[in-house]
Amino acid sequence: MPPITPKTFRGTRDFLPEVMVARSDLIDRIRGTFELYGFSPLETPAIEYMETLAGKYGDEGEKLLYKLAYKGGDVLALRYDLTIPLARVAAQNPNLPKPFKRYQIQPVWRADRPQIKQGRFREFYQCDVDIVGSDSLAADAEILAMTVETLTRLDIGPFTVRINHRELLAAIIRAAGIPDDALMTASRCLDKWDKIGAGGVRAEMENEGFDAAVIQRLLASVDEDPKESSLARMGKLESTVRKFGGSEGLEKMKEIFQLLEALGVDEKRIAFWPSLARGLDYYTGPIFETFHDDLPHMGSLTGGGRYDNLIGIFLGEQIPATGTTIGIDRILAALQQTNRLQMAPSKTQVFVAVFDEDSMRSACRLAGLVRRQGFRTEIAYGAQKLKRQFARADRQGIPVVLIQGPDEQKEKVVSVKRLESGDQVKIAEIDLVKYLKEILE
């Protein structure tokens, strides 16, 4: 039998330790911010019934579902996102506390065309945070505040969270002369603005049969001037949208900005964006996406909004909900492209060298001693030359090496070598833990 060629499916990846250490650190910081805002963890199965997922993502999203045929005729699918599974959980567990504040960090799958530079993959992780059971705009504002704080803590560089409101967007589209039965079509065209630009949106709308004058009015009304403040943008649209059912959406947008100010959110990080549409059909109120200011080609780093009708599909009654997704893989790609990612092949702090075969027991005793004090420790498994052991520790980014040869054992001391500086000192065994705390903590 010929050997099997090792390979991964296009759009999927292995994460070797150097990347995985950085990735795990990012996820830990994201999780810490979620919990700071009072959210609790949830996990759901990778496989859902097709009927659970079907019809929730629009025509474009439906094509990207990985469908699975199962014996007995059941049609299953890999989860496309974490929002629909949350809706199922909320409907399946009606006694959950309300509001139910959950976060979820798990992989999702999409039969998409991979674009590595843009951070687009077929298998990728999402970090979702949602509030189920509250229709208060304070819930939307808190999601936005938490998004800003999360990305600030990750130190991704300059970013802007763009926000809009579905009612306001509908009024803008109506004001351009587009009837209600074509609102979703126009909205989906606008949703591609960041990928294909104004010219591409114009071409898409022409292909959908919209009149050229209508297209021009719509594009002119949503074109953003980066020098304008969010309140100025809303002010320009106010008289127009009030005639076409957008008054409530406009007032809600103003209230969200007031709540964000009260929460202490940096106003430079939030912008009203009238062209923002969000392609998913289930959004009903505020919608939001985040873009890296220096990497516009990257696409959205986060995206979400209010979806008050989605959970009701499973229950037959309306349950309000709002939330967002943080794309860890795109954030990782953004950090790499801006040289902000600190890579390390290991999180180990201490390497215990073995001086000779007779010193193995002494090395094991040392390793146990420092591990019990909470230091992440690796031990050599054989008595190679010390120079080779130092080189191995250095390659793994381990800052400290401990050596206890026969002479040190007799004197009850340990030689501590700091690899970055090359300094080496002898420390009494009784003082070793104290010294390690001084240099490592």
Q: Which residues are annotated as a binding site for L-histidine?
A: 81-83, 110, 126, 130, 278, 282-283
| Residues annotated within a binding site | 81-83, 110, 126, 130, 278, 282-283
How far is Cα 306 from Cα 139, in angstroms, rounded to an integer?
Answer: 9
According to DSSP, the β-strands at 321-326 and 123-132 are antiparallel
Selection from 357, 391, 345 nearest residue 19 by Cα: 345
How far is Cα 355 from Cα 362, in angstroms, rounded to an integer?
Answer: 10
How far is Cα 96 from Cα 334, in angstroms, rounded to an integer?
Answer: 37
Selection from 213, 177, 186 nearest residue 275 by Cα: 186
How far is Cα 368 from Cα 106, in angstroms, rounded to an integer?
Answer: 34
User: At residue 93, what is the residue type?
Assistant: N
Neighbouring CB atoms inside 10 A of 416's CB total: 19
Residue pair 415/426 in contact (Cβ under 8 Å)? The answer is: yes
Neighbouring CB atoms inside 10 A of 163's CB total: 23
Q: Which residue has the tokens 């696409």?
A: 299
DSSP letters along 127-183, please?
EEEEEES---HHHHHHHHHHHHHHHHHHT--SEEEEEEEHHHHHHHHHHTT--GGGH
Q: Which residue has the tokens 């873009």?
A: 291
List the 123-132 sheet strands across, edge first: 40-41, 100-109, 123-132, 321-326, 302-306, 286-292, 159-165, 270-272
